[in-house]
Amino acid sequence: MLEKEQVYKELLRCNKCGGCQVICPTYKATYYEGNVARGRLFLVRKYLENGEQALLKTPEIVQVLEQCLLCESCTKVCPSGVRTAEVVLHYRQQLLEIKGSKNKWKERLYRLAFLNKAFIPLAAKLAYYYQKYGMIPDPYQLRSFLSQYLDGQVLRDNPGTGITLPATGQRKYKVTFFVGCASNTFYHGAALVAINLLRRWADVTLLDNYCCGAPLLSLGAVDGFREVANRNLELISREQTDFIVTDCSTCASVLKQYPARLGVAAPALTKLRDLVEILIQEREHLSQVKGRGRQKFTFHYPCHLARGQNLKEPTQKLLDDLFGSSYQPHLEDDSCCGGAGTFGILHRDLAQKITAAKLANIQNSGAAQVVTSCPACLMQLGAVVKRLALPLVVKPLAVFLEEAMGESR
């Protein structure tokens, strides 16, 4: 988290060249200056000149802060390297601290949900509902929905039992699987496939972890974030294991940020791998993949994979290598899908516009399937594919690979 002085430095480095318009997904959905890094930074700067309190209560400022995807695309093209997402995070934090902030209820809900393992499914339920019906449930519907909820038990019952699922092939090492909230409850099927993939060469245990903290972080709920992060760090440090792997690129990216955000050293985190990373490392175990001559597919590089972890190029290489010309990159394949955690739910119209633009690029590539490594992206892409009734299949990476290895579960 940036300190005030660092935030000022970021703000001063923006000299309004406008270059970020070329990439900012919220700008390209609206062509409105309030939806691009330059506008966001300018308004914040302007408000600093006029005094903080007044402007943080101004709906327009709140809006420009809330409508940022935190996708960091702008930083990549910004010649001055301005970290707009960090500036936005800083002010979201300030917003929360203001008395009577309408985000307070969200913070409470998030704390309840993400600091308490039993409530984790709640968040997933919201997401599930969103995907199925394309809308946010109202509180009354949610109640009945809660009681109906039965999904996702498999993984949720397993963590923390200390049970190790033994390797099915020759054992090379031990892996601890970090169970992301969305993976756990909504994409638990895919998570199980990922686990079984890892078991081809490793023993796997499930970590009884908390939420990685991404939703708290993006809300600006820094205290809550620190709390979950510390709890997770403690759990991870206690693990006797060779690698910690997660099949969620957002979790992986956020976990990797712990040392910087908490200001602590965390040697245990050097064992952390995104599923994609460990697959690259264990390329030889994918030799069964029948990649060539398949139906064309494309890969969506999630923000947290491409920019959060700088893993776009290695991933692309792996796919090229395994699949040759069956793998078709699409235009702007590392631009945010519009899901951005809860963004897809909270700013539904804007998000769906962004997703629709993304899907048009995907379709233009001629691919019939789009594969990705983050549940939030899967959810967002899936929901909009469904709403627009597009002839596209959205697939988790592990599931896609398993199919390519010619096995049916």
CB 82 within 8 A of CB 90: no
Binding partner of residue 236 among other proteins, ligand FAD, ligand SF4, none, CB under 5 to 8 Å per kind?
A: none
Q: Does 163 bind ligand FAD (CB under 6 A)?
A: no
Q: Which residues pair with 197 in a beta bridge?
A: none
Judged by CB under 6 A, the residue of 1, 7, 14, 181 near ligand SF4 is 14
Site size toward other proteins (CB under 8 A) is 29
Q: Does 12 bind ligand SF4 (CB under 6 A)?
A: no
- Judged by beta carbon, residue 18 or residue 366, the one nearer ligand FAD is 18
- Judged by beta carbon, residue 74 or residue 378, the one nearer ligand SF4 is 74
Q: How far is the CB of 246 from ligand FAD (least distance, A)?
A: 40
Judged by CB under 6 A, the residue of 1, 26, 101, 337 near ligand SF4 is 26
Q: Does 40 bind ligand SF4 (CB under 6 A)?
A: yes
Q: Does 12 bind ligand FAD (CB under 6 A)?
A: no
Q: Is 86 exposed, middle or buried (0-12, 13-18, 19+ CB in 10 A)?
A: middle
Q: Does 135 bind other proteins (CB under 8 A)?
A: no
- Judged by beta carbon, residue 46 or residue 290, the one nearer other proteins is 46
Binding partner of residue 42 among ligand SF4, ligand FAD, other proteins, none, CB under 5 to 8 Å per kind?
A: other proteins
Q: Does 350 bind ligand SF4 (CB under 6 A)?
A: no
Q: Does 22 bind ligand FAD (CB under 6 A)?
A: no
Judged by CB under 6 A, the residue of 56, 61, 69, 127 near ligand SF4 is 69
Q: Does 245 bind ligand SF4 (CB under 6 A)?
A: no
Q: Which stretch binds other proteins (CB under 8 A): 54-62, 187-195, 243-251, 262-270?
A: 54-62
Considering only residues 73 to 92 of the shown chain, the ones binding other proteins according to CB under 8 A are: 77-82
Sites of contact with other proteins (CB under 8 A): 12-19, 21-22, 31-34, 39, 42-43, 46, 55, 58-61, 77-82
Sites of contact with ligand SF4 (CB under 6 A): 14-20, 23-26, 37-38, 40-41, 68-74, 78, 80, 82, 84-85
Sites of contact with ligand FAD (CB under 6 A): 17-18
